Amino acid sequence: MAIIAAEQYLERVATLRPRLFIGGKKVEKLTDHPITKGVIDATARVYELTMDPLYADVMTATSHLTGEKISRSLHIHQSNQDIEKRLEMARLSSQKLGTCNYRCPGNEMLPSLAATTWEIDQDTGTEYHSRLNAYLRYAQENDLVVSGSVTDTKGDRSKRPLEQDPDSYVHVVEKRADGIVVSGAKQHATGAYAADETLVLPGLSCREGEEHYALAFVIPNGSEGMTYVAQYNPLSAEREHTEDIRYLGNPIYGQRETCLIIFDHVVVPWERVFMCGEVEYTQTLISRFAKTHRMNCGGACKVGFMDLIIGAAQLLAEYHGLSRASHIIQKITRMIQLTNTSLACALAAAHMGKEEPAGSSVFMPDEMMSNLAKLTTNDGFWEVMALAGDIAGGIAVTMPSERELDNPELREYMAKYLRSAAPAEKRMRITRFLQNWVAGLHGVGTAQGAGPSQNQNLILYRITDLEEKKRMAEDLANMQS
Amino acid sequence: MAIIAAEQYLERVATLRPRLFIGGKKVEKLTDHPITKGVIDATARVYELTMDPLYADVMTATSHLTGEKISRSLHIHQSNQDIEKRLEMARLSSQKLGTCNYRCPGNEMLPSLAATTWEIDQDTGTEYHSRLNAYLRYAQENDLVVSGSVTDTKGDRSKRPLEQDPDSYVHVVEKRADGIVVSGAKQHATGAYAADETLVLPGLSCREGEEHYALAFVIPNGSEGMTYVAQYNPLSAEREHTEDIRYLGNPIYGQRETCLIIFDHVVVPWERVFMCGEVEYTQTLISRFAKTHRMNCGGACKVGFMDLIIGAAQLLAEYHGLSRASHIIQKITRMIQLTNTSLACALAAAHMGKEEPAGSSVFMPDEMMSNLAKLTTNDGFWEVMALAGDIAGGIAVTMPSERELDNPELREYMAKYLRSAAPAEKRMRITRFLQNWVAGLHGVGTAQGAGPSQNQNLILYRITDLEEKKRMAEDLANMQS
Amino acid sequence: MAIIAAEQYLERVATLRPRLFIGGKKVEKLTDHPITKGVIDATARVYELTMDPLYADVMTATSHLTGEKISRSLHIHQSNQDIEKRLEMARLSSQKLGTCNYRCPGNEMLPSLAATTWEIDQDTGTEYHSRLNAYLRYAQENDLVVSGSVTDTKGDRSKRPLEQDPDSYVHVVEKRADGIVVSGAKQHATGAYAADETLVLPGLSCREGEEHYALAFVIPNGSEGMTYVAQYNPLSAEREHTEDIRYLGNPIYGQRETCLIIFDHVVVPWERVFMCGEVEYTQTLISRFAKTHRMNCGGACKVGFMDLIIGAAQLLAEYHGLSRASHIIQKITRMIQLTNTSLACALAAAHMGKEEPAGSSVFMPDEMMSNLAKLTTNDGFWEVMALAGDIAGGIAVTMPSERELDNPELREYMAKYLRSAAPAEKRMRITRFLQNWVAGLHGVGTAQGAGPSQNQNLILYRITDLEEKKRMAEDLANMQS
Amino acid sequence: MAIIAAEQYLERVATLRPRLFIGGKKVEKLTDHPITKGVIDATARVYELTMDPLYADVMTATSHLTGEKISRSLHIHQSNQDIEKRLEMARLSSQKLGTCNYRCPGNEMLPSLAATTWEIDQDTGTEYHSRLNAYLRYAQENDLVVSGSVTDTKGDRSKRPLEQDPDSYVHVVEKRADGIVVSGAKQHATGAYAADETLVLPGLSCREGEEHYALAFVIPNGSEGMTYVAQYNPLSAEREHTEDIRYLGNPIYGQRETCLIIFDHVVVPWERVFMCGEVEYTQTLISRFAKTHRMNCGGACKVGFMDLIIGAAQLLAEYHGLSRASHIIQKITRMIQLTNTSLACALAAAHMGKEEPAGSSVFMPDEMMSNLAKLTTNDGFWEVMALAGDIAGGIAVTMPSERELDNPELREYMAKYLRSAAPAEKRMRITRFLQNWVAGLHGVGTAQGAGPSQNQNLILYRITDLEEKKRMAEDLANMQS
């Protein structure tokens, strides 16, 4: 079995030495910094879940390359059932972590890359697919964390890459015998600095002349020329400076941590290059990744988050003595509707999936339904936040620090005045937990992760057969069209 | 093959003699009245579709009783695939008819009744299930139209049946050796007067003492003591009085036609009685029917309608020269989102279906997802109406009669002033067609058919395991619960 | 006092002889046809309200030309108080009629025309304003019904008037010593065939070269060369053929009746021409009319309709024994919110009004707020329909004709099975009344009347000072901009 | 003129010594702590604006007690114009501060208290009103910051005060010759620790037997027995620990700061007590305060915030090179709609205001419209957040610290990879600014401040005359009611 224990992961991650900056300062030791530690602990928890017999069906799969049991995080879907298990994994890890499963994004790229490399090889006689399979065997055997990154920094978005600083998009600056040299930067890279490897896909649909940008490769953490700059926001500051993480919103695992990855003349050996110059395949590769990502990250992952929010809101309603009020029940019901609608779309995407391209043995979710899962969640998540915030009450904004519970000058006051139908400790704890969901970065993060609504809208319009619908209407209206 | 041709259905329906009133007048001949003719023509079209090899997979099934090929309208789901085909049938017939498939409601009751009669027999030793199977064989062999009816007239809804006129709900007034005598009335009965048979289910979840109301049976059209009173609204008046149905919104098939069925001491022989007094099974029977009905009629059927609306709106946008305007594309895209969301929920309901009760061989859709399909459609359909009405423009309200196109005094004016980027005939035709969808009874009809939103809300809240979600939140918040 | 009694109006209208077609047939006598009679009865009711001392403050004003008490329908706003009374008139007449006050549209054009003719005369030395004042004196002295019409038939909307059939927009075909000759057609003309006069404004913002389209004039009913073609839809058919108008949704006054007015070489004497060729003023004239129209017809008028809908929904909830259910209260409350939000915007439009142009003595509502009143109502009205339809229940779609109450064969059945907590007569009457609001043309009619949402959106974006808001943000963000 | 300079306020605040805890630690010096300093700087800015001739009309008023020019923050509305100026003050200070005007809540209580004390005195012969006037003279002459507080800690909300710990609501524990002794705590007290005085109103509508809770008084900052516990959340932590406030979202003024105020046997002299035991007036007092608060804080204040958000979103769209994209324009337009709808309701509340009680000379806004302003904003603000977050893009969540711009190791990378159509500095600055609005506490804060939606819903339903609307419907439906 090619599955390692959490401890083995922790040992390995302790050896990583990425050049990483957080909040204006260099991070010396990944396992020590309170922010990076959250990422590592979350990832370790995923390794634990993978080992847990209770979740084996969801968290593991059988490698189509080796026949061995592997983490589903490194699996290529071989059936619609695989796609469905994959979305169940997204939901489960969200429920358990309250933040990213950092093995997710890379995993969402792998099937897309498998499908597209197979296709390029078939069409053009390249050997990208066998390279990828070789890499996959290696990753599966070592049970690696493969992070993934797709979004370029883009500069002025009204311009193409060659109309501005060419580094605005990651590209090949030199081809050498031993590999390619790459420059540019990828943003929004989820947990990349604590991953063993980072997989890089093209972030734009390339046109002729933009061959240097049609580029997919994988690179080990902290390779020469790579610099990571972590995101920094109020939650970062809070975690960086807190004396007691027990009182944070998501105590152990923290917020979703991303970074900017700068590639400054980074050398990638040819055996790690999976696309290089095939502009005509970039659109397909991106849309395959997008539909996989939108079903999982856009849909099912956020269902897991919404499960947590609903649970916390219900708890707080009970703590406040209000859980039987009709307007509270109505709000809980509406949240139930919203989360299950996202789930329905994700399930439909898996259910309607199919082998793509035919003959590749790779299965892909349905494009309409996966984009719909994401689009539904974009709006639904904001509404769930608003509803849960409504149930939480003003205390979700104005609550004092839980540290005052330990403050001898205030301890009794706190116990007296922060209690409700529940003791102050419980009520404050779940309020802070809920605050993290409804009064932080989750609304924008959810709507932007896997792409903003306009992306999905464009796809919905493009892939719908309006001619067929027009004919139906003409027929029934009795028109000779 | 136990499937008859449309012509055979037409011959049989011509022999029916229900006591029927429409708009204050008695209907003498079902096949002549312009309103009842629409129901008959729609039903005949369903028989045609069933015969059409193109749709065989969707419209037909293999009887689990006889092994023969039958109309899916008389089939008991034997698998999740059957459930999914069933919802595809709902969508298809909506696309083709623009009104009810009048074989639908009875068909949605049959599996629920099969499941529940099996269960009652298992538990209590009755023989309802074998009676039902005998009846089913008969119906399948003759390829009957079995209509269905569930909603009682209810009177004052704040009162139970025994607190008011006992006829406010259909009930047994006498049990005799040869059968039961039934009184009361069912409303909203879809197309019942043109069906071969009407299946009647209890419309309320009965309590002890209300045994006379726990009642399921099937009765041939126009049995002694039955009176049908048809709905009547502006669209009824228009069809009743028009000289040329070509100019109606849904020219051939018309609006969904329903009626009130009054049972005045109607005798039902025992072999047609499938529940009589088992109050403790009424809730389950209703919820089984509801979840089947809400997936099909609440979800997939309306997806077919929305397909038609989108097609007509796109046509009209093109006719007006506006189909490339960004706000039009945005509205079309939003409609695509809404219709596919309903579809996703219906598909998820089928995909997550299971045998229920275990051992019965009857498959039922998932309750959460089917209720969600309906709930999503309730709001979504109104929004689709608003969007399509927006695209249609004021002409959807203020358009003159298409008969003016034939009026020698106006013909040239009409051709000149009603044309757009398309000729006046086409534009007027599709405008009238769309008017029927966006400026008529469809909003309320869709929201009420298969039960209003509050019914689904109650179920969503009731069947959700809030305790599990609370535990997830407590675990992650680090609480000792 | 220049206010006439309803009887005088009725006498005058009986003398009108427009060339009018409804549903494919010529109308011989305006006062006899069931559809035109509804328009006349509604207008007569407005005359009654104007005479009623209870409503004098709202329905009458003091002429700034003669100092006499006149109908507010012929008044030019001289203050913000006048604007506010005007919107109160719109709400009141909607409450009383449940359809158009047919004196409205002309009245919404008059202040805009007064402002713009004053401006043109000031700038260019024309005498349009004095002509308008002379006409106004005549109209006020005779207390005329002045209808108004603005929307051209437009043909292909992606083309300008001169790129297609020039008659797609109303225009001057000849200028003569005694007046102008006009051709083209106006659609959506509310109640025009029963008005004494029709005021015509340009329906597009004209450019250089389109001088023949920059045209405003007033024309007596039935002038040589004019043909009226009435709208025709299911409600038209129902009213045309009914034997008893008591059982219609809006029994006496009916739906909003509009027509297409065709001008085929119609001669307009110069003293009735108020703009002819001044293309640079068309945009301003239209936007002045639009903001007046959107406050009244888009906002306040629909508030009156929503008052009726809320009242009927509450009645029906009580009749059904459900008015204390929490979800019903929540829906009623939401409707209260929606109607009052429209009202708030309309009031703000009046409150923020000002003299425009300065020196003209004409007051105009605020453009942002009036467009907002309309935009808010577009969505709000659909939602009110959905909510009221939800409360009404399936009976709003499936109810039999009230004529069955008189049917000796059914009378007792109807009394028994259509009753609820209220007798069948009452319940059926209010259900039919509500059906007319929630299952007919009101959604599209409301959204399209005074222009669809996209029109208001364009104005909102155009008139907002985004630079000012950008500066505020820069200042507070501490940026040197 | 009784208006002091910002410097005078700063000198006075430096002398305050409240017993205050923030984040588990006692605050020694109010003017030094980074969190309390933000409150003080914001308040000082309000003093500056009051002195600024540009804003004199909005920020100042003429005292009805002394005839002197005073800060509007201490004024009792004497007309609807006063109410409207008051809401303009709310909008203006929000635009300038991006956080609370900390003089607001007290000021919203003063007119309500003036009205109700006048009424109690009239009815019962007490002298509360003259006491209040004496206090007002003192406050106006010294241009004090009067904070206000109304929300009790409540404990178990399903219980009344006497059914649980009596301190769950602030109440009188002893009446003495020199004054009353008060215990309990008020939460959500905005900026109270940096105010000269705190005004306390009853937080529940009292019943007979709850006389000790019917209590209004004013108390100087830091009186014996008072303890303040400040809110603490991620933004608190960030400000507490930052080395450079320039890089915070709202650099100088920070987030809205509130605290819990504990009253432990605090003595209030009689001349500072304005209600004590008059249970029958508590409901009116609260609803007067609520309607004032909801117009200002619920409506106009948030309009100022939305102005800032729209400005920042437009800037960022331009910086990204996307401001002409149709979907961006549509989102900006929708935000313009939402903010102006809130404004319209607030303006309507002022416009429809009236003297209340008659004879008191105190003017109050309209209850329907003020509650509507708040209710509209509750939903609208969340939607504005979602729209602005959509425009901002993923960078609003994943952006590195602006401190990296100063980091010599990263400086060039940052300039290169964080630039867009604008330099990295500008883009990062406005992104952080917008992050503060769309990815923080503003959604919940806005919805909860001045009471959650359910409070407004209850009022809307209660104050609407449904009987009148029922009669309108009955009349038009032709019913003999």
Which pLDDT score, from 0 to 100, does residue D480 have? 67
Tell me: the pLDDT tens digits for B388-398? 999 999 999 99
Which pLDDT score, from 0 to 100, does residue B387 have? 98
**Which 8-state DSSP code applies to residue B152?**
B
> How far apart are the CA of B152 and the nearest CA of chain A, in angstroms?
27
When pLDDT is cut at 50, 70 and 90, the band that residue A416 belongs to is very high
- Above pLDDT 90, what percent of chain B? 99
CA separation for the pair D75, D137 (Å, rounded): 10
Which pLDDT score, from 0 to 100, does residue C480 have? 67
HEC string for C104-138: HHHHHHHHHHHHHHHHHHHHHCCCHHHHHHHHHHH
Test A327 with C330 for CB contact under 8 angstroms.
yes
Which residues 183-242 of D have a C-beta within 8 angstroms of A? 185, 187-188, 227, 229-238, 240-242
Q: Is A354 near chain C, with CB under 8 Å?
A: no
> How far apart are the CA of A246 and the nearest CA of chain C, in angstroms?
33
Which pLDDT score, from 0 to 100, does residue D156 have? 96
Does the pLDDT of residue B35 top 70, yes or no? yes
Test C372 with D341 for CB contact under 8 angstroms.
yes
Q: For the residues B403-416, what does the mean pLDDT come to?
A: 97
Test B327 with D327 for CB contact under 8 angstroms.
no
User: Do residues A375 and A453 lie in contact, with contact meaning Cβ atoms separated by under 8 Å?
Assistant: yes
* Residues of C in Cβ contact (< 8 Å) with D351: 347-348, 351
Tell me: the pLDDT tens digits for A136-187? 999 999 999 999 999 999 999 999 999 999 999 999 999 999 999 999 999 9
> How far apart are the CA of D433 and the nearest CA of chain A, in angstroms?
11
> How far apart are the CA of A396 and the nearest CA of chain B, in angstroms?
15
Which pLDDT score, from 0 to 100, does residue D112 have? 97
Mutate to test the interface with C, among B159, B259, B397 (most CBs of C within 10 A): B397
> How far apart are the CA of D466 and the nearest CA of chain C, in angstroms?
6
| Segment holding A227, helix H or strand E | strand A226-230
Tell me: the pLDDT tens digits for A188-231? 999 999 999 999 999 999 999 999 999 999 999 999 999 999 99
Mutate to test the interface with D, among C347, C391, C453 (most CBs of D within 10 A): C347
User: Do residues B289 and B106 lie in contact, with contact meaning Cβ atoms separated by under 8 Å?
Assistant: no
Test A460 with B336 for CB contact under 8 angstroms.
yes
Chains contacting D with at least 3 CB pairs below 8 Å?
A: A, B, C
Q: Is D255 near chain A, with CB under 8 Å?
A: no
* Residues of D in Cβ contact (< 8 Å) with A454: 327, 390
Residue of chain A minimizing CA distance to C328: A326
Does the pLDDT of residue D111 top 70, yes or no? yes
Q: Given CA atoms A78, A79, A81, A85 in this order, what sign does their dihedral have?
A: positive
Q: What is the ipTM of this complex?
A: 0.97
CA separation for the pair C76, C364 (Å, rounded): 10
* Residues of A in Cβ contact (< 8 Å) with C330: 326-327, 330
Which pLDDT score, from 0 to 100, does residue C255 have? 97
* Residues of D in Cβ contact (< 8 Å) with B326: 326-327, 330
Does the pLDDT of residue C481 top 60, yes or no? no
Q: b/e map of C4-31 (b: 16 or more CB within 10 Å)?
A: bebeebeeebeebebbbbbbbeebeebe
DSSP 3-state of B445: helix
Choose the closest CB to D435 out of A233, A383, A419. A233
Cα dihedral B414, C263, C90, C116 in deg (nearest 10): 130
Question: Which residue from B214, C9, B470 is spatially nearest to A95, judged by alpha carbons?
Answer: B470
* Residues of B in Cβ contact (< 8 Å) with D327: 326, 330
Q: Is B376 near chain C, with CB under 8 Å?
A: no
Q: For the residues B456-468, what does the mean pLDDT come to?
A: 98
Q: Kindly state the greatest CA–CA separation across chain A.
A: 85
**Positions of E strands within B237-312:** 258-269, 273-276
Averaged confidence pLDDT in chain C: 97
CA separation for the pair B56, B97 (Å, rounded): 17
When pLDDT is cut at 50, 70 and 90, the band that residue B200 belongs to is very high
Which pLDDT score, from 0 to 100, does residue D23 have? 97
Does the pLDDT of residue B481 top 60, yes or no? no
Which residues 429-468 of D have a C-beta within 8 angstroms of C? 429-430, 432-433, 457, 460-461, 464, 466, 468
> How far apart are the CA of D315 and the nearest CA of chain C, in angstroms?
6
Tell me: the pLDDT tens digits for D113-133? 999 999 999 999 999 999 999
**Positions of E strands within D138-257:** 146-149, 171-176, 179-190, 197-200, 215-220, 226-230
In Å, what is the CA distance from D383 to each residue of A229, C21, D310, D380, D437? 31, 48, 12, 5, 12
When pLDDT is cut at 50, 70 and 90, the band that residue D398 belongs to is very high
The tokens for C356 are 């425009």
When pLDDT is cut at 50, 70 and 90, the band that residue D65 belongs to is very high
In this structure, which amino acid lies at residue B391?
I
User: Do residues B253 and B329 lie in contact, with contact meaning Cβ atoms separated by under 8 Å?
Assistant: no
- Exposed/middle/buried for residue A166 (C-beta within 10 Å: 0-12, 13-18, 19+): middle
Residue of chain B minimizing CA distance to D328: B326
- Above pLDDT 70, what percent of chain A? 99
Q: How many CB atoms lie within 10 A of CB B124?
A: 11
Choose the closest CB to D351 out of C347, C368, C470. C347
* Residues of D in Cβ contact (< 8 Å) with A240: 241
When pLDDT is cut at 50, 70 and 90, the band that residue C96 belongs to is very high
When pLDDT is cut at 50, 70 and 90, the band that residue A480 belongs to is low
Q: For the residues B154-181, what does the mean pLDDT come to?
A: 97
* Residues of D in Cβ contact (< 8 Å) with C245: none
* Residues of D in Cβ contact (< 8 Å) with C344: 341, 344-345, 347-348, 369, 372-373
- Above pLDDT 70, what percent of chain D? 99
Say how many Å lie between the first and final Cα of chain C, rounded: 62
In this structure, which amino acid lies at residue A330?
Q
Which pLDDT score, from 0 to 100, does residue B480 have? 67
Chains contacting C with at least 3 CB pairs below 8 Å?
A: A, B, D
Q: Is B95 near chain A, with CB under 8 Å?
A: yes
Which pLDDT score, from 0 to 100, does residue C242 have? 96
> How far apart are the CA of A306 and the nearest CA of chain D, in angstroms?
17
Averaged confidence pLDDT in chain B: 97
Question: Which residue from B436, B137, B226 is spatially nearest to B313, judged by alpha carbons?
Answer: B436
Tell me: the pLDDT tens digits for B322-340? 999 999 999 999 999 999 9
Tell me: the pLDDT tens digits for C138-155? 999 999 999 999 999 999
Q: b/e map of B447-466 (b: 16 or more CB within 10 Å)?
A: bbbbbbbbebbebbbeebeb
Q: Is C333 near chain A, with CB under 8 Å?
A: no
Q: Is A158 near chain B, with CB under 8 Å?
A: no
Which pLDDT score, from 0 to 100, does residue C405 have? 97
Tell me: the pLDDT tens digits for C441-461? 999 999 999 999 999 999 999
